[in-house]
């Protein structure tokens, strides 16, 4: 019997205890774990190995995929679950991970053998939640945390779809460490992956997250699985967003939007209307059309400026990059002449949405100017990246952004002049191309 000290953050191993992990820099993260010796004999022959030529392997993507029952989730997965795949889903406590998967299991149980393995809830608790969600009675439920027993059951019954809720509650008697430790999570995930690939069983794992928002356990966990999904949203906000951060069978730039209700999660078809207020004719508000994967979203950006009461003005930003907003404030001061040095500035994206693309620069800078001048922008959509010289640079997917703005009834769209030539049809909406921020602000105000 041999023991090692294993970092619970990154999986670093050492024979001696250290106060600080030399790999990830975390303090007091090394825990002693007993490493069991494997007494099984090594195979001396590879005659039983099946080796294939890739040209001889036929794949029918229609047969190898099946729908989850939610179009929004299928969009993120790239068209649905792939048979034999291992999917990891993480998110904050209470965000709705178990609710979503129980609803998925309820839909799939009508034509598939579904097994829901819960290590966090008892049978009675799971039944209460299933009753609240009107879940199907065809779901097979197993409440067990000993993975050695679960593994034997899976190999004997071979269900078509498995949900593990959650991986941090599972343990194997081969290791003396506690459930949720690096060794336990890594070993159980490896054995789950072997079962999923061997018997072509689609497996979904629920993972806890740390205070930094990362999935708890070793980083190798995310490398082993085929797909990593993150469930995002405020606990006190009804809207939920699911994103793919890794997907071997589809894109990673898609997102699905849900709304939490008393009867579970509901899909949102027209997401753009969620982030818009009927009263947009007030100062400090700007409308922007973003692109998330293949989906255009109309978002409202709000800004508020007020004279500071202290020596150093406050800068509070929610939903957009802080450093980018500070750069845009500098452009307003230097190139436009708006004095923001004595102004507290607050910037927010309505609905808790997070914008990562630079095409929102023009909307952000216009909302700040609108709040400072106390003049509303009006029924205008602003799209464009802003450079340090105050110039407006071109963006991608302009046609799709304009189509979405038109669909929601906007009358005017201001875009970079470089993108004017790429517009094929105006769709009876006024499209204005401009080169500099000063031209935009002169037009608006």
Percent of the chain with pLDDT over 70: 90
Is pLDDT at 328 greater than 90 in this prediction?
yes
Is pLDDT at 36 greater than 70 in this prediction?
no
Q: What is the pLDDT of residue 33?
A: 77
Is pLDDT at 41 greater than 60 in this prediction?
no
Percent of the chain with pLDDT over 90: 54
Predicted confidence band at 61 (pLDDT cuts at 50, 70, 90)?
low
Predicted confidence band at 48 (pLDDT cuts at 50, 70, 90)?
low
pLDDT tens, residue by residue, 172-217: 988 877 888 888 888 899 999 999 999 999 999 998 887 666 676 6
Q: What is the pLDDT of residue 216?
A: 65
Q: What is the pLDDT of residue 1?
A: 59
pLDDT tens, residue by residue, 412-437: 999 999 999 888 776 688 999 999 99
Is pLDDT at 390 greater than 90 in this prediction?
yes
What are the φ and ψ backbone dihedral angles of 317, each rounded to 5 degrees?
-130, 130
pLDDT tens, residue by residue, 250-287: 888 888 889 888 889 999 877 777 667 666 678 999 99
**Average pLDDT value over all residues in the chain:** 87
Sign for the pseudo-dihedral over CA of 410, 415, 417, 422: negative
Q: What is the pLDDT of residue 443?
A: 93
């Amino acid at each position: 019997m041999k023991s090692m000290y294993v970092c619970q953050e990154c999986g670093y191993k050492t024979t001696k205890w250290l106060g600080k992990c030399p790999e990830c820099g975390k303090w007091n993260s090394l825990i002693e774990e007993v490493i069991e010796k494997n007494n099984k004999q090594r195979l001396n022959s590879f005659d039983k190995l099946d080796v294939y030529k890739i040209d001889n392997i036929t794949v029918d993507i229609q047969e190898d995929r099946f729908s989850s029952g939610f179009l929004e989730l299928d969009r993120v997965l790239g068209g649905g679950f792939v048979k034999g795949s291992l999917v990891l889903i993480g998110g904050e406590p209470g965000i709705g991970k178990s609710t979503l998967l129980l609803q998925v299991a309820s839909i799939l149980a009508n034509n598939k053998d579904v097994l829901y393995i819960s290590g966090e809830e008892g049978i009675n608790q799971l039944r209460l939640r299933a009753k609240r969600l009107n879940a199907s009675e065809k779901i097979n439920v197993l409440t067990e945390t000993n993975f050695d027993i679960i593994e034997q059951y899976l190999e004997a019954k071979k269900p078509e779809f498995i949900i593990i809720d959650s991986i941090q509650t599972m343990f194997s008697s081969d290791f003396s460490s506690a459930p949720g430790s690096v060794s336990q999570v890594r070993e159980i995930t490896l054995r789950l992956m072997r079962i999923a690939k061997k018997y072509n069983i689609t497996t979904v794992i629920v993972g806890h997250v740390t205070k930094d928002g990362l999935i708890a356990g070793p980083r190798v966990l995310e490398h082993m699985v085929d797909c990593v999904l993150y469930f995002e949203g405020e606990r006190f906000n009804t809207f939920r967003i699911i994103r793919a951060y890794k997907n071997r069978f589809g894109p990673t730039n898609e997102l699905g939007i849900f709304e939490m209700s008393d009867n579970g999660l509901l899909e949102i078809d027209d997401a753009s209307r969620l982030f818009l207020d009927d009263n947009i004719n007030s100062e400090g508000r700007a409308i922007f059309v973003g692109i998330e994967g293949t989906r255009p979203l109309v978002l409202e950006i709000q800004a508020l400026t007020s004279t500071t009461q202290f020596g150093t003005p406050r800068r509070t930003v929610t939903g957009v990059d802080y450093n980018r907003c500070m750069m845009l404030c500098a452009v307003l001061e230097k190139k436009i002449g708006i004095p923001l040095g004595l102004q507290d500035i607050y910037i927010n994206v309505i609905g808790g949405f997070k914008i990562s693309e630079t095409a929102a620069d023009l909307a952000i800078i216009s909302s700040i100017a609108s709040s400072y001048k106390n003049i509303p922008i009006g029924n205008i959509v602003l799209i464009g990246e802003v450079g340090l010289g105050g110039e407006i640079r071109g963006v991608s997917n302009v046609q799709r952004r304009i189509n979405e703005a038109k669909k929601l009834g906007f009358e005017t769209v201001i875009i970079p002049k470089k993108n004017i030539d790429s517009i094929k049809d105006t769709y009876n909406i006024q499209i204005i191309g401009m080169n500099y921020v000063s031209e935009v602000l002169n037009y608006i105000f």
